[in-house]
Structure 1
Amino acid sequence: MIDDSRTYELDRAHVFHSWSAQGALKPMVVTKAEGSTLWDDEGNSYLDFSSQLVFTNIGHQHPKVVKAIQDQAATLCTIAPGTANAARSEAARLITSHAPDGLEKVFFTNGGADAVEHAIRMARLHTGRIKVLSTYRSYHGGTALAVNVTGDPRRWPNDYGSAGTVHFFGPFLYRSQFHATTEAEECERALAHLEQVIALEGAQSIAAIILESIPGTAGIMVPPPGYLQGVRELCDRHGIVYIADEVMAGFGRSGRWFGFEHGDVTPDLITFAKGVNSGYVPLGGVIINEPTAATFDERVYPGGLTYSGHPLACAAAVATIKTMEEEGIVENAARLGREVLGPGLEKIAAGHSSVGEVRGTGVFWAIELVKDQATREPLAAYGGSSPAMNATLAACKAAGLIPFANYNRIHVVPPLTISDDDARRGLEIIDAALDTADQG
Structure 2
Amino acid sequence: MKQIFSKLIYGGSLILSTLMAQESNLQDIQTLEADSNPPKKSLRERLLEKELELQVPRETVPVTESKYPIKTAIPKTAYYLPMLQTLLHIKPGTLPNPLGISIIGSYTMENYRVKKFSGQMGANLGTKIGGLFDQIPANFKIPVKLPILGQTNITIPLFGTLGVLSTKTQAEFIADLKSQLNNAFGTNTKEWKLSDGTVSTKTSAIGAKIDMYLFPFMNLFATATYLHVEQETRVGSATIPLDNPITITLNGTAFGSQPQTITLNEITFPVGSVKNILDGYAVMGGTNVAIGYKGFFASCMVGGGYVQLDDWQNNVSGFVQKPFMYVAPRIGYTYDGIFTMHAGVQRIELFGSTKGKDLSASSGGLVQSYAVELDKFPINFLAGAQFMPMRDFGISLEYVGSPDTSGINAEVAYRF
TM-score, normalized by the shorter chain, greater than 0.5:
no
Higher helix share: 1
Higher strand share: 2
Larger radius of gyration: 2
The higher relative CO (CA closer than 8 Å, separation ≥ 6) is in 1
Q: What TM-score does the superposition give when structure 2 sets the normalisation length?
A: 0.17
